[in-house]
Amino acid sequence: MRRFYSVLICCALCAALLCGCGGGSTGSGGAGIRRREYSSEELQFTAPAQGAPVAVFDTSAGEIRAVLYPDKAPQACENFIALAQRGYYDGTVFYRVESGFCIEGGLDGAGGSTTAWGGSGYPAETTDALHHYSGALCAAMNTNGEGGSVFYILQTLPEAPAADLLAQMESAGCRQAVIDAYKAVGGAPYLDYTDTVFGQVYSGMDVVDAIAQAETDEAMAPLEPIVVNRVTITTYGEG
């Protein structure tokens, strides 16, 4: 099994933050979490364009919809879409959930990871247009810095990052629009430029919040399996 470490270790990378940052998500509250509506011209805060690709996660906890950004993260989107259309994610589980951080899935039933290209990974795709705001759909990178089938959705709380981290962002030249977005909706800016953001939840953040509240074991696996029944690729305005 190829273990994916990026989500586990990137908190230690805050001091090495490189910033340039961009737009966020909103979502209705779930599990007692209230998420504010936030207006911005940043991409992740704008309504999906008509006909934009959308991933629909039919889970045992409810439905989650995320718009995808193939023009900003082409390899991550191509890989995810191909695997979804192949049925790779159907019947898998969210094998790791951490309240206030993320929900993670994408391993097959045998505990393995693959790609649309027969297992060959792809590098992180980073851009100033996409950032790790709460609700971001991301591809985890393995210890070789390559992406595979593993994805996670940020479930960070709707509150500003720590003051010292905001100061690092400012000193690194992060755009004010991005700092304002992180302050408004929360997120994990220390993951920017390490992992790949390739989508944003626009419907079902209450489901993401509920999944993140599941009781877990020491490995952060839900005690009661939370199943991804099916991932369907459609377009915004259809289905």
pTM for the model: 0.88
Domain that holds residue 164: 20-33+45-218
How does residue 239 score in pLDDT terms, banded at 50, 70 and 90?
A: low
**Structural domain includes residue 170:** yes
CA–CA distances in Å: residue 220 to residues 75, 76, 175, 214: 29, 25, 34, 9
Closest CA to 4 of 98, 133, 111: 111
How does residue 220 score in pLDDT terms, banded at 50, 70 and 90?
A: very high
Pairwise CA distance, residues 211 & 105, whole Å = 12
**Structural domain includes residue 61:** yes
Q: Which tops the pLDDT comparison, 109 or 149?
A: 149
**Structural domain includes residue 226:** no
Give the total number of structural domains in the chain.
1
**Structural domain includes residue 133:** yes
Among the ranges given (100-104, 106-110, 168-172), the one the predictor scored with the smallest mean pLDDT:
106-110
**Structural domain includes residue 141:** yes
Say whether pLDDT at 19 is over 60.
Answer: no
Beta-bridge partner residues of 141: 147
In CATH, what number is assigned to the domain containing residue 182?
A: 2.40.100.10
Say whether pLDDT at 85 is over 90.
Answer: yes
Say whether pLDDT at 14 is over 80.
Answer: no
**Sole residue written with tokens 């609700």:** 135
pLDDT tens for residues 171-208?
A: 999 999 999 999 999 999 999 989 999 999 999 999 99
